[in-house]
Amino acid sequence: MASKTTISVIKCDVGSLAGHHTVPSPLLKIGEKRLREAQKKGLVNSHYVFHAGDDLELLMVHNQGEDNPEIHKLAWNTFEESAKKASVLKLYGAGQDILKTAFSGNVRGMGPGVAEMEIEERKSDPIVVFAADKTEPGAFNYPLFRIFADPTNTAGLVIDPDLAEGFKFEVLDVIENKKVVLKCPEEMYELIALIGTPSRYVVSHVWRARDDLVCAATSTTRLSLIAGKYVGKDDPVSIVRAQHGLPALGEILAPFMHSYLVEGWMRGSHWGPLMPVGLKDSKCTAFDGPPRIVALGFQVANGKISSDGGTPLISDLFDDPAFDLARREALEMAVTLRRMGEFEPARLSAESMEYTTLPKILEKLKDRFEPISIATKIPLLSTH
Ligand code: F6R
Ligand code: MG
Ligand code: MG
């Protein structure tokens, strides 16, 4: 049997230039240098270093399997070196997502975000990697639902008999740390009931129902929950497989023809419109956003990213006028929400704010709150 191929995307906010908006070139260069060395040693077969806003993203294709300690250590060491460089340059938020100091075999739970998928390569295997900044893993719930379960998005669900049996979704409850698998179309309503709450229920994997072929994997940790105090949203990554009995590339991208609202944006505390952008616009500026998403398309072939003389062939999928309307919509929604300032629903609910400032404000005011007596209540009510 041919050896399996693993696609790993491991990301970390190691520090940004001028606030939390982008990853400057010295840090990208460290990523490139480290992964090139690993490629020379044969640990990884191909790599691509990029950034989504202030997150350094390491795309690695290799044969080491998921959760491999050496691959995770490579990512961890790269992030540590980048964070050190960020400190030397006095970049902002240097080492922001490096929550623990001692590496213990796996970066999960230590700050960085991870999406990995081990596959048996098909005759031709088109892959899309999504990376978003200023939002959280549940931001992928809506597009993953549309791609793999919504026949108004994915024509193949109706037209292609290979998709007709539907897809299975693994949903994580990130608050209670448990998971459930739901099959669509049969359990579509139950699926929507859960993943319509993206801050709690997160789609972590999708499989084709007829043969359990893995077709999507998403990063799922939530930093705010790992750290016990607010340290930023866990800006997510996702890997999706395309074509030949799976949703076509165009069906995978179709949900992004419109913008939609996600949690995150400024201080991780606001609803904001997700804006699909090319790599050149992958920086979060206005009100630290709007939250942005990039998408890279490539082929895996014989354990590598298909390349041209060693240069990986990567298509910057949202660098395309086809997404201009979504960008325009995102801006329109952004200004509408910002006009509301710190009033819900522009700001996240009180429940979400419990991870941030609300407890401190309540603590500060606790001695000034007075019980409302019936006598005070009655005149108030009677004025209405
Ligand atoms: C959100 C984010 C930024 C910061 C904001 C305040 O994920 O990273 O919106 O929360 O810029 O940052 P500090 O507190 O570092 O000044
Ligand atoms: Mg940051
Ligand atoms: Mg970020």
Mutate to test the pocket of ligand 1, among 267, 287, 357 (most ligand atoms within 8 A of CB): 267
Q: Which residue in the list 67, 179, 230, 316 is annotated as catalytic?
A: 230
Q: Identify the DSSP state of 72.
A: H
Q: Which atom of ligand 1 is nearest to the CA of 266?
A: 9
Q: Which residue in the list 13, 125, 133, 235 is annotated as catalytic?
A: 13
Q: Tell me the CA–centroid distance for residue 267 and ligand 1, in Å.
A: 5
Q: Tell me the CA–centroid distance for residue 241 and ligand 3, in Å.
A: 24
Locus of tokens 């970066």: 107
Q: Is the pLDDT of residue 170 over 70?
A: yes
- Active-site residue, 230 included: yes
- Which residues are CB-contacts of 3 (< 8 A; sequence separation ≥ 6)? 63, 303
Q: What is the pLDDT of residue 252?
A: 99
Pocket of ligand 1 (CB under 6 A): 19-20, 93, 134, 232-233, 266-268, 288
Residue nearest to atom 12 of ligand 1 (CA): 267
Q: Is the pLDDT of residue 102 over 90?
A: no
Q: What is the pLDDT of residue 360?
A: 86
Q: Is the pLDDT of residue 300 over 70?
A: yes
For residue 77, give the 3-state DSSP assignment. helix
Q: What is the pLDDT of residue 72?
A: 97
Q: What is the pLDDT of residues 328-381, one digit of tens each?
A: 999 999 999 999 999 999 999 887 776 667 888 889 999 999 999 876 665 555
> What's the mean pLDDT when you consider all of the chain?
93
Q: What is the pLDDT of residues 59-75, one digit of tens each?
A: 999 999 999 999 999 99
- Active-site residue, 13 included: yes
For residue 311, give the 3-state DSSP assignment. strand
Q: Would you give the end-to-end CA distance of the chain in angstroms?
A: 77
pTM: 0.95
CB of 195 closer than 8 Å to CB of 201? yes
Q: Is the pLDDT of residue 1 over 50?
A: no
Q: What is the pLDDT of residues 176-230, one digit of tens each?
A: 889 999 999 999 999 999 999 999 999 999 999 999 999 999 998 766 666 555 5
Q: Which atom of ligand 1 is nearest to the CA of 233?
A: 7
Q: What is the pLDDT of residue 220?
A: 86
Ligand located closest to 231 CA: 1
Q: Tell me the CA–centroid distance for residue 21 and ligand 1, in Å.
A: 9
Where does residue 98 fall: left (phi above 0), alpha (psi -120 to 50 degrees), or beta otherwise? Answer: beta
Ligand located closest to 289 CA: 1
Rounded Cα distance, 150 and 198, in Å: 18
Residue nearest to atom 3 of ligand 1 (CA): 267
ω into 290 cis (within 30 of 0): yes
Q: Tell me the CA–centroid distance for residue 81 and ligand 1, in Å.
A: 22
Q: What is the pLDDT of residue 106?
A: 87
Mutate to test the pocket of ligand 1, among 13, 17, 20, 284 (most ligand atoms within 8 A of CB): 20
Mean pLDDT of 268-293: 97
Q: What is the pLDDT of residue 380?
A: 54
Q: What is the pLDDT of residues 80-90, one digit of tens each?
A: 999 999 999 99
- Count CB-CB contacts under 10 A for residue 193: 12
Q: Which residue in the list 85, 134, 168, 233 is annotated as catalytic?
A: 233
Q: Which atom of ligand 1 is nearest to the CA of 267?
A: 10
Q: Tell me the CA–centroid distance for residue 23 and ligand 3, in Å.
A: 10
DSSP β-bridge partners for residue 88: none
- Active-site residue, 160 included: no
Q: What is the pLDDT of residue 223?
A: 62
